[in-house]
Structure 1
Amino acid sequence: MLPDGDLSASDPDVQAAIRGEKRRQEENLEMIASENHVSKAVLETQGSVLTNKYAEGYPGSRYYGGCEHVDTVEQLAIDRAKELFGAEHANVQPHSGTQANMGVYFAMLEPGDRILSLDLTHGGHLSHGHHVNFSGQYYEVEQYGVDPETGYIDYDELANHAEQFDPGLIVSGSSAYPREFDYERIGEIAAAVDAYHMADIAHITGLIAGGVHSNPVGDADFVTASTHKTIRAGRGGIILTTEEHAEEIDKAIFPGAQGGPLMHNVAGKAVGFGEALTDEFREYSEQVVANAKALADVFTDRGMSLVSGGTDKHLLLVDLRESHPSITGKDAEERLESVGITVNKNTVPGESRSPFVTSGIRVGTPALTTRGFSESEMETIGNYIVDLLDNPDDDDLAEEISMEVEQLCSEYPIYD
């Protein structure tokens, strides 16, 4: 028998934590670039009875019975992903973007093969070959970086590096690089050294779906993505590829790296992808970028140093070493969080501090755009941020801004 009663009766401690988190999200300005707020429809889907169903295998070819409805859900997610990105094949089962990357590595590489990817301190990601991650432990990895003067990737240097290193796979993708990748050029570089090209679009999945960022499908052999950042779908990952590599990718995910897929999450992806096919989502994506550019203008006008001088997408990487040399990324994160503005400390090119301290902060606009914020609100928030960093010991200012943040949040509720 199932326990009687709802969550408040069966586990009030967990319910209190959930209520606290909902209140935190409602009462704070969420500016972590990798976070967003999903729709009520996605929330409903992710909390559905689909969490009860095992579905090892793929639609039409399962190892368990009773999969007719989850087959429908997964096929919807696959078809919508293919339509959104113009891909021949989509695997929607990875539990995360990192596991999507794992699927490509396991399918196409052998342990000890070479990977060339963007350095973590220059905006890359742990799963692109950092030594603490499986990718850096199973493969031989070298990393390219950004030009120290411009903050942009130097593609000629990347081509030279690839020729000298002779990798089996080149990764284009990042977690804190504020500019678009030249996917076509990287595809050409990879082809020249007989390497695969994997584009990790985890952060920009929604911007590509919304048509405001270049699409690597066609220029990359494999495209991996997260589905819970700019695209606001169920938490997890996907892999897009050609029919040529479809079987290898599917086998690498199941049975290679995962057992049964999380069908409630797959369903959340299907719902989120459906939302992303609408005109409203295209308008949202355009506003995400417009908001980031408005924020960049405020920071630049007020003397803050931005890596690459600005942004093409949803995030900014602020280098505090020139404008606020006595303030670390950790200091800035804590100062802003104390008034209800949530960002994350982040390493910057040429980083000399620990990744637990850092010299920069990463600031994003997806979640605030979901709440309905436009350029004018971003200008206001940008000035709050600079005021707080310019006056780190002014408690009266912090109290005043905290009250204004509270008012702003009340004007833009997340879930009515």
Structure 2
Amino acid sequence: MPNPIRDVAPTVADAVANERERQESTLGMIASENHVSEAVLAAQGTALTNKYAEGYPGARYYGGCEFVDEVERLAVERATDLWGADHVNVQPHSGTQANMGVYFAALEPGETILSLDLTHGGHLSHGHHVNFSGQLYDVTQYEVDPETGYIDYDELAALAHDVEPELIVSGSSAYPREFDWERVGEIADEVGAHQLADIAHITGLVAAGVHSSPVDHATFVTGSTHKTIRAGRGGIIMCDAEYADDVDSAVFPGSQGGPLMHNVAGKAVGFTEATTPAFEAYAEQSVANATVLADVLRDRGLSLVSGGTDKHLVLVDLRDSHPDLTGDDAEAALAAVDIVVNKNTVPGETRSPFVTSGIRIGTPALTTRGFGADELETVAHHIADVLDDPDDEDVRNRVREDVQRLCETHPIYD
């Protein structure tokens, strides 16, 4: 079969082929990753990559946009159907840029953001000092209860009344429990703030109705389009109608130029797939698989932040069960048997973010491959076996062999 990439840049062709093989031959359990369909892959590799389309459908700064207008309108229409927001902007290149668009629309530099601390499950773009959000705004952060691993909303309310933020950020990258969107919205109202609900990880779960939605409780909702929604890499902003113009202006021209129309096409295709009963079943299974994963790991003696999960991921705190094993060590040991997870900070973290005391494990990608509860139980035992004795070659060989069996039984792309 002709390969135009190889004809021009064989090194790139080799890297692409090797990456596809790596994905096929490993169990991807990074909670923020997934596998898009062949249709989404095809949409993102089209001639739409050639088209500049600064502006919005019907109001572009370039000619020749009639067909990309159709694509963007479809993406917006599908998103509106899925999440029920008043207004949707599908142009952000990532979840972080979606958050940037909201900050630029809702805040002036130096105003106050109240958000979840990174080591307690938050995200860099929620105000970490190395991110633009922590450099442009005055940031105060709340934490989970150290005993329960849950957010204490009474403490959050007290903190909000103390600092009087303009924006309260809910949502997370490693908090395994549902947020009480309504309670956060009430707290925001009490102090005259807006709520920004960042659903980057759970965009697909919310769309499928297997996770509560913040749309009726938050002024702004942002998300990624490549995690649980499987619509290709990118971001999305939803907001109340009265802030539509502010959000659109904050995205373009405020924080980016022309949208990546090939990625917008991927969003349109992925959002269309998400309107099907098959997608709802997938989302339900992702959560069910995470519950099985949590139950087995806990039964095997591993400590889970908050004791379990309400969604598609678990956060393992290794300090009690494996005090000498860092998150970095655990990630490497699992990678050696072709199980791919990521090291992750945990509440009360004392180690460097490059080392960490925990690992984050997710189920979206395996669920896309067709893994069910039985397979997740098997995988969970494999993870526990490796963490219990990461240097045992017999364990490694046995687990690696079964991982390859599971990969071959559940290919990503036929």
The alignment status of 1:206 with 2:210, answered yes or no, reads: no
- Measured against aligned partners, the alpha-carbon deviations of 1:351-372 in whole angstroms (never above 9, x if no partner) come to 0000000000000000000000
Determine the C-alpha separation between the residues in 1 that align with 2:409 and 2:216: 43
Partner of 1:232: 230
Determine the C-alpha separation between the residues in 1 that align with 2:257 and 2:295: 47
Amino acid at match of 1:18: V
Instruction: Report the 3-state secondary structure (helix = DSSP H, G, I; strand = E; otherwise coil) of the residue aligned with 1:16.
Output: helix
Instruction: Report the 3-state secondary structure (helix = DSSP H, G, I; strand = E; otherwise coil) of the residue aligned with 1:257.
Output: coil
* Match 1:93 to one of 71, 91, 109: 91
Q: Tell me if the contact between 1:234 and 1:267 (Cα under 8 Å) persists in the aligned partners.
A: no
The alignment status of 1:142 with 2:132, answered yes or no, reads: no
Partner of 2:178: 180
Partner of 2:366: 368
Determine the C-alpha separation between the residues in 1 that align with 2:376 and 2:238: 34
C-alpha deviation, 1:234, in angstroms? 2.0
C-alpha deviation, 1:218, in angstroms? 1.2
Partner of 2:312: 314
The alignment status of 1:359 with 2:357, answered yes or no, reads: yes
C-alpha deviation, 1:243, in angstroms? 1.2
The alignment status of 1:253 with 2:251, answered yes or no, reads: yes
- Measured against aligned partners, the alpha-carbon deviations of 1:53-90 in whole angstroms (never above 9, x if no partner) come to 00000000000000000000000000111110011100
Determine the C-alpha separation between the residues in 2 that align with 1:308 and 1:116: 22
Determine the C-alpha separation between the residues in 2 that align with 1:32 and 1:220: 28
Determine the C-alpha separation between the residues in 1 that align with 2:3 and 2:144: 56
Where do 4+ consecutive residues of structure 1 move more than 4 Å? none
Q: Give me the TM-score of the superposition, normalised by structure 1.
A: 0.99
Determine the C-alpha separation between the residues in 1 that align with 2:361 and 2:83: 26
Partner of 2:334: 336
Partner of 1:393: 391
Instruction: Report the 3-state secondary structure (helix = DSSP H, G, I; strand = E; otherwise coil) of the residue aligned with 2:133.
Output: helix
Determine the C-alpha separation between the residues in 2 that align with 1:311 and 1:119: 19
Instruction: Report the 3-state secondary structure (helix = DSSP H, G, I; strand = E; otherwise coil) of the residue aligned with 1:197.
Output: strand
Determine the C-alpha separation between the residues in 1 that align with 2:42 and 2:278: 20
Determine the C-alpha separation between the residues in 2 that align with 1:141 and 1:205: 25
- Residue pairs, 1:30-109, within 5 angstroms: 30-109=28-107
Report the number of matched residues: 413
- Residue pairs, 1:267-286, within 5 angstroms: 267-286=265-284
Determine the C-alpha separation between the residues in 2 that align with 1:181 and 1:170: 13
Determine the C-alpha separation between the residues in 2 that align with 1:135 and 1:9: 43
Determine the C-alpha separation between the residues in 2 that align with 1:400 and 1:154: 43
Q: Tell me if the contact between 1:116 and 1:170 (Cα under 8 Å) persists in the aligned partners.
A: yes
Determine the C-alpha separation between the residues in 1 that align with 2:169 and 2:311: 19
C-alpha deviation, 1:397, in angstroms? 1.2
Name stretches of at least 5 consecutive residues in structure 2 with no aligned partner: none
C-alpha deviation, 1:5, in angstroms? 7.2
- Measured against aligned partners, the alpha-carbon deviations of 1:161-202 in whole angstroms (never above 9, x if no partner) come to 000000000000100000000000000000000001000000
Determine the C-alpha separation between the residues in 1 that align with 2:241 and 2:112: 24
Amino acid at match of 2:409: E
Q: Tell me if the contact between 1:306 and 1:318 (Cα under 8 Å) persists in the aligned partners.
A: yes
Name stretches of at least 5 consecutive residues in structure 1 with no aligned partner: none
Determine the C-alpha separation between the residues in 2 that align with 1:158 and 1:39: 40
* Match 2:22 to one of 14, 21, 24: 24
Identify the range of structure 1 (93-102 vs 4-13) with the bigger mean alpha-carbon deviation: 4-13
Instruction: Report the 3-state secondary structure (helix = DSSP H, G, I; strand = E; otherwise coil) of the residue aligned with 1:106.
Output: helix
Q: Tell me if the contact between 1:124 and 1:174 (Cα under 8 Å) persists in the aligned partners.
A: yes
Amino acid at match of 2:15: A
